[in-house]
Amino acid sequence: MKSPITSLYELVKDRELRNRAYKDTISASQSVKIPAGFISCRKCSRRSLRSRWEENFYICPICGSYSPIGAYYRLKLILDPGSFHELDKDLCAGDPLDFPDYGEKIAAQEKKTGLKEAVVSCCGKIGGIDLTAVVLDSRFFMGSMSRAVGEKVTRAVEHADQKGQPLIIFSASGGARMQEGIYSLMQMAKTSAAIERFSEHGGFYISFLTHPTTGGVTASFATLGDITLAEPGALIGFAGPRVIEQTINAKLPKGFQRSEYLLEHGFLDRIVERREMREILLRLLELHRAEGAQGGEKA
């Protein structure tokens, strides 16, 4: 009988080969090269100058669809200049199961993204208000939750708790990282427990869901916020829509698991445009600070 790790390895390799074959087919049918200085929209396939994308916060200037952005860029958009201080910067991905090829893939992801893991945590200020922020980066292993990701999220929550700061977490994840097996799944319980302790101590947690937020991240800290926000058009759920349709053998409603559908059904508090992100977060932080001050006066 094959060991579970070997079987899982073969499953991963099979999926990679299938994805590679699919991408090769797409590339063959879309062999037109994109000129330098242009970006092609993933949704409408129209090209626009990179400068127009940058001016528009990496939202397609033509169709308005959102492109994923990196963790540091998102933090730059919301934090006061000069207030960023990174936490646990050197905490990086490991290979607890000695999974075949995993170490090489981590090295490739580090080289490609400049990140050591799929998450950046920091303390900083928005409008002069101190806070702790966590941003998952989907460019690194699709933002999947590894042992290191869970540890960094947990430490950030504990930092906010110790400092008495509000906590903001931006989620973007494909779920648990299968190359780390049970070590990855354990992070769901660990991060959820940290959020629970933070909440019991009166902490204020804003969860901001971006595309995509799925799997174990959705089933843990991403859906435990006091306030839950999301970007337009974000895919949010546990299993993907195709998996659900195959399981229940039925067609899902149009827009199912998209942020607009979830807002309509009470899962979200608000959908926030990227250009309004800092303004809305500042307003929420100010309201929370004012409420805290009133509570202190009554006491």
Split at pLDDT 50, 70, 90, the class of 93 is confident
- Per-residue model confidence as pLDDT tens digits over 27-81: 444 556 888 899 999 999 999 999 999 999 999 999 999 999 999 999 999 999 9
Does position 10 have pLDDT exceeding 90, yes or no? no
Alpha-carbon dihedral sign for residues 279, 192, 118, 257 = negative
- Per-residue model confidence as pLDDT tens digits over 276-289: 999 999 999 999 99
CA distance 239 to 76: 31
Where in the sequence of the chain do the CATH 3.90.226.10 domains occur?
69-298
Across 21-25, 122-126, 294-298, least confident range? 21-25
- Per-residue model confidence as pLDDT tens digits over 162-206: 999 999 999 999 999 999 999 999 999 999 999 999 999 999 999
Asked if residues 174 and 145 have their Cβ atoms less than 8 Å apart, the reply is: no
Answer whether the bond into residue 61 is a cis peptide, omega within 30°.
no
**69-298 — its CATH code?**
3.90.226.10
Q: How far is CA 282 from the centre of its chain?
A: 20
Specify which residues 173 forms β-bridges with: 213
Give SS3 for 38: strand
Split at pLDDT 50, 70, 90, the class of 94 is confident
Token pair of 106, please? Answer: 């981590």
CA distance 126 to 130: 7
Does position 229 have pLDDT exceeding 90, yes or no? yes
